[in-house]
Amino acid sequence: MSETLPVPSAPPAPARRVSGVPIRLEHVTKRYPGQDRPAVDDVTLDIAAGETVMFVGPSGCGKTTLLKMINRLIEPTSGRIHLGDEDVTNQDPDRLRRRIGYVIQAGGLFPHMMVATNIGMVPRMLGWEKQRVTERIDELLDLVGLDPEQYRDRYPKELSGGQQQRVGVARALAADPPVLLMDEPFGAVDPITRQRLQDELLRIQDELGKTIVCVTHDFDEAVKLGDRIVVFDVGARIVQYDTPEAILAAPAEEYVADFVGAGATLKQLTLTRVNSLHLRPVTTASVGDDAADAVARARAAGDDFVVVLDRRGRPISWPTLAEVSRMAAIPATVDEKLPVVGLGSTLNDALDTMLAASQGGAVVLGRRDSLAGVVTIEMIMDAIQRTRQETAG
């Protein structure tokens, strides 16, 4: 754990595991009595298995209504809904919903039930054995980055907003549903937490490959999380359905262009991810290591900082060599302000994080919060320079 980490020069790109199923909406319409315009007007939409599709559009455009018609919290007035090969339009809605994960803003956890009970709801409804449910709960807590020992017996109010949202995601994934619906999942948390949760979701999706449909009002979030984005106008009219790159490069209508916002270089910051950079390797030390030894290794590697890892290999602080050389052994102090980003973070996120920290860079986390390397402001500036030259040339 104490040597310089070998950091892959190119992002690993294994064939993505897909456990989701395709969703097909056919001529779906929702009319509310007493309204002359349908809330959702004849929408046909194909969503590929294992893709994350983001619904964006002005408020009241019907995107949330459309989302809720997929799990039939709202019954369509007409049209068909297919999940995989099945037509689920007339299926028992309660049974259908047990096969579709549903995440809402702030997690929607039941406050009178412990974290474990919340997560175990759907598996218990499906009649899983107790042992299997218990194992699944721990597995999921681990997946969303919460220590099961510490969190399973807590009540939601004993968790921060970000942690509640993680448990919300764990609960939605409990019975391993092929489809996950998210309704503005990260709308109620502060920007830094939101960015962390987005990174977390990208990582989880990378592991699981569900079909995710997510409503958001934040176009940057759509670009960051989505394999594809659907831009809606009133009546859930589909204005454009494409990859984030394509929508940014060629907005279908003036309306989309307005929605997307301006600034070609800045857009690039939202499109480029940390994992596309050549991350810098960095000298690491574990809690309890000899400080002098760590300083010597850092000097040899030409680093001004040392990243301290805890027992599980997760970075906890990032002291300067001057600070380290004043200590005898590496302390277990957790730096609350440690700038961290995920491999899936956008350069925009990374830049935000760095500007709030003193190190002029950020620690990059890989799988299960292990250290993947370090990204610096210079690296981001270089990346911007390169794109500008490419665009110019």
Report residue 268 as tokens: 């690039």
Cβ-proximal residues to 254 (8 Å cutoff; 6+ apart), any chain:
none
Rounded Cα gap, residues 219 and 217, in angstroms: 6
178: contact with another protein by CB under 8 A? no
336: contact with another protein by CB under 8 A? yes
Residues 105 to 124 in contact with another protein, rule: CB under 8 A: 105-106, 108-114, 121-122
Identify which of residues 37 and 311 has a Cβ nearer to another protein in the complex.
Answer: 311
203: contact with another protein by CB under 8 A? no
DSSP string, 186-205: TTTS-HHHHHHHHHHHHHHH
Query: E-assigned strands of 4-148?
Result: 23-30, 40-47, 52-56, 78-83, 86-87, 100-104
Report residue 50 as tokens: 């294992």
238: contact with another protein by CB under 8 A? no
312: contact with another protein by CB under 8 A? yes
Listed ranges 26-34, 37-45, 239-247, 305-313: which one lies at the site for another protein (CB under 8 A): 305-313
Locate tokens 């302000």: which residue? 337
Nearest to residue 1, comparing CAs of 375, 377, 321, 310?
Answer: 310
Rounded Cα gap, residues 325 and 282, in angstroms: 17
Identify which of residues 50 and 342 has a Cβ nearer to another protein in the complex.
Answer: 342
Binding mask 354-373 for another protein (x = CB under 8 A): ---------x-x---x----
Q: Is 122 in contact with 175 (CB distance < 8 Å)? A: yes
Listed ranges 24-32, 46-54, 193-201, 384-392: which one lies at the site for another protein (CB under 8 A): 193-201
Least distance in angstroms from the C-beta of 65 to another protein:
13
CA distances from 282 to 340, 365, 373 (A): 14, 13, 6
246: contact with another protein by CB under 8 A? no
Residues 129 to 148 in contact with another protein, rule: CB under 8 A: 145-147
171: contact with another protein by CB under 8 A? yes
41: contact with another protein by CB under 8 A? no
Report residue 379 as tokens: 């690296």
Least distance in angstroms from the C-beta of 260 to another protein:
28
330: contact with another protein by CB under 8 A? no
315: contact with another protein by CB under 8 A? yes
Nearest to residue 235, comparing CAs of 16, 91, 374, 32?
Answer: 32
Antiparallel, parallel or unpaired: β 40-47 and 179-183: unpaired
Identify which of residues 145 and 226 has a Cβ nearer to another protein in the complex.
Answer: 145
Rounded Cα gap, residues 96 and 118, in angstroms: 19
Rounded Cα gap, residues 313 and 324, in angstroms: 19
Least distance in angstroms from the C-beta of 122 to another protein:
5
Listed ranges 8-16, 43-51, 308-316, 320-328: which one lies at the site for another protein (CB under 8 A): 308-316
Strand partners of residue 233: 237
Identify which of residues 194 and 297 has a Cβ nearer to another protein in the complex.
Answer: 194
Give the residues lining the site for another protein (CB under 8 A): 71, 73, 94-99, 102, 104-106, 108-114, 121-122, 125, 145-147, 150-151, 153-160, 162-163, 171-172, 181, 189, 192-193, 196-197, 310-312, 314-317, 332-338, 340, 363, 365, 369
